[in-house]
């Protein structure tokens, strides 16, 4: 298989684009897709500092790498979730990447008794649900403390398509109405969230990471076994195998028509301050503090 | 026979020599794993030799 542009040996075949690229031209394609998403959805400008949420996985490290190559001003942010040796190993990947590229980063460690396995056990809630609450809380709190207005995550097209499938199966209109690659800032503390990898798939991102020597954690989070999102991804990948471009069409056509859901969805409540931690929230006590209350009661 | 070392899942022996067919034999959709031989990423059209060992890296991660 030859590169469509220069004719040299290809490293990737993109069935959904009916094309193939060598290493050099795949990198060009990849960075172009990231820049295209940033511009199309007005995610951020080169004047802004971007907090890149990194997990040590392929998506977030590839995102950090791409933003750095595109000359955006970034700072990494890693939450040590206290998940067995997995958290230590993924932190090592983040540290190695940051040192190699001379990039600054912040590490937030969850305190003793507040790791994801402990929070899940004490609260009786599912591990992925607890993890989501913790991450969403610190994805606002840390940038607020650091005075950074933009938070970028490594969510990709497969993540978004599988979440879309899940929300459609439940006809969750509120979630569907908010399912955009940019979540606007609200109040003073709820920061703008952006997904610059929304035009790229798991396969393309892993190829980019491996081809460019980005050392990422290849094993899955031990807490995510049996996660519904992975099941939905597998279903979509089976469809993609039969009909290349299905995932892209499914997700991008939805974005073109998202206004339909935004017109009918229930409006969010007024923004308030959490009575316990003082962070802005849509309820009197934010989800994170409610979780903390629950574990202290138990 | 090709030896496929699937990351996190062990080793499997395959009879198909073309990358695309080897993935099919393993029931792995083509864009859910990357096939590597001696550090090089292989495209689906590549033919392997009898006795080759390839590494298969699954790419689907939890969202």
* pLDDT category of residue A24 using cuts at 50, 70 and 90: very high
Can you tell me the mean pLDDT for A56-68? 98
Of B9, B41, B20, B61, give the one whose Cα is nearest residue A23.
B41
Identify the pLDDT of residue A82. Answer: 94
B49 touches chain A (CB under 8 A): no
Task: Verify whether the Cβ–Cβ distance B8 to A211 is below 8 Å.
Answer: no
Q: Give percent above pLDDT 70 in chain A.
A: 98
> Residues 196..235 of A with a Cβ closer than 8 Å to B: which?
201-203, 205-207, 210-211, 218-221, 224, 227, 229-230, 233-234
Can you tell me the mean pLDDT for B5-26? 96
3-class secondary-structure state, position A21: strand
Minimal Cα–Cα distance from A179 to chain B, Å?
Answer: 14
Identify the pLDDT of residue A224. Answer: 83
Task: Verify whether the Cβ–Cβ distance B63 to A233 is below 8 Å.
Answer: yes
When mean pLDDT is compared across A52-56, A269-273, B1-5, the lowest value belongs to: A269-273
3-class secondary-structure state, position B57: strand
List residues bridging with A51 in a β-sheet. A75, A151
Say whether pLDDT at A263 is over 90. no
Can you tell me the mean pLDDT for A84-88? 93
* pLDDT category of residue A220 using cuts at 50, 70 and 90: confident
B44 touches chain A (CB under 8 A): yes
Identify the pLDDT of residue A225. Answer: 81
When mean pLDDT is compared across A101-110, A112-121, A266-275, B13-22, the lowest value belongs to: A266-275
Say whether pLDDT at A232 is over 90. yes
Q: Give percent above pLDDT 90 in chain A.
A: 87
- Chain A, nearest residue to B41 by Cα: A11
> Which pLDDT tens digit goes with each residue over B27-61?
999 999 999 999 999 999 999 999 999 999 999 98
Identify the pLDDT of residue A17. Answer: 95
Task: Verify whether the Cβ–Cβ distance A202 to B57 is below 8 Å.
Answer: no
When comparing pLDDT for A252 and A111, which is higher? A252
> Which pLDDT tens digit goes with each residue over A264-291?
776 666 899 999 999 999 999 999 999 9
ipTM value for the complex: 0.96
Identify the pLDDT of residue A293. Answer: 93
Query: CA B16, B18, B22, B25: dihedral to nearest 10 degrees?
Result: -60
Identify the pLDDT of residue A226. Answer: 80
Axis-axis angle for helices A116-123, A127-146 (nearest 10) = 120
B10 touches chain A (CB under 8 A): no
A112-115: long-range contacts at Cβ-Cβ below 8 A with a sequence spacing of 24 or more?
A113/A295, A114/A82, A114/A292, A114/A295, A115/A81, A115/A82, A115/A83
Spatial distance between the Cα atoms of A30 and A204, rounded to a whole number of angstroms: 8
A111-119: long-range contacts at Cβ-Cβ below 8 A with a sequence spacing of 24 or more?
A113/A295, A114/A82, A114/A292, A114/A295, A115/A81, A115/A82, A115/A83, A116/A81, A116/A82, A116/A83, A116/A223, A117/A82, A117/A83, A117/A84, A117/A223, A118/A82, A118/A295, A119/A291, A119/A295
Say whether pLDDT at A74 is over 80. yes
* pLDDT category of residue A298 using cuts at 50, 70 and 90: low
Can you tell me the mean pLDDT for A83-101? 96
Task: Verify whether the Cβ–Cβ distance A218 to B29 is below 8 Å.
Answer: no
When comparing pLDDT for A38 and A127, which is higher? A38
Can you tell me the mean pLDDT for A214-238? 91
Minimal Cα–Cα distance from B51 to chain A, Å?
Answer: 22
Cβ atoms of A159 and B63 closer than 8 Å:
yes
């Amino acid at each position: 298989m030859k590169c469509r542009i220069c004719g040299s040996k290809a490293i990737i075949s993109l069935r959904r684009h009916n094309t193939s690229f060598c290493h050099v031209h795949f990198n060009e394609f990849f960075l172009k897709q990231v820049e295209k998403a940033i511009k199309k959805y007005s995610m951020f400008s080169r004047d802004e500092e971007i907090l890149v949420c990194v997990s040590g996985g392929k998506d977030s490290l590839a995102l950090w790498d791409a933003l750095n190559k595109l000359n955006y001003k970034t700072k990494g942010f890693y939450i040590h979730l206290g998940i067995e040796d997995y958290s230590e190993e993924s932190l090592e990947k983040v540290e190695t990447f940051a040192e190699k590229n001379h990039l600054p980063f912040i590490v937030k460690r969850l305190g003793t008794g507040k790791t994801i396995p402990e929070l899940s056990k004490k609260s009786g809630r599912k591990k992925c649900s607890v993890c989501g609450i913790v991450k969403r809380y610190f994805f606002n709190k840390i940038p607020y403390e650091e005075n950074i207005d933009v938070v970028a995550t490594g969510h990709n097209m497969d993540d978004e398509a599988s979440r879309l499938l899940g929300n459609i199966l439940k006809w969750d209109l509120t979630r569907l109405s908010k399912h955009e690659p940019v979540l606007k800032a609200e109040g003073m503390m709820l920061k703008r969230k952006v997904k610059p990898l929304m035009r790229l798939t798991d396969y393309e991102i892993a190829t980019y990471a491996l081809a460019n020597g980005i050392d990422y954690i290849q094993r899955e989070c031990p807490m995510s076994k049996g996660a519904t999102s992975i099941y939905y991804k597998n279903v979509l990948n089976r469809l993609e195998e039969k009909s290349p471009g299905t995932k892209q069409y499914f997700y991008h056509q939805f974005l073109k028509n998202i206004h339909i859901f935004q017109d009918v969805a229930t409006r969010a409540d007024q923004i308030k301050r959490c009575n316990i931690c003082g962070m802005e929230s849509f309820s009197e006590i934010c989800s994170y503090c409610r979780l903390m209350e629950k574990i202290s009661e138990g | 026979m090709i030896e496929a070392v699937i990351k996190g899942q062990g080793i499997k022996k395959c009879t198909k020599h073309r990358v695309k067919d080897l993935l099919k034999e393993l029931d792995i959709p083509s864009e859910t794993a990357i096939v590597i031989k001696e550090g090089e990423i292989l495209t689906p059209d590549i033919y392997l030799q009898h006795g080759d060992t390839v590494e298969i890296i699954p790419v689907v991660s939890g969202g």
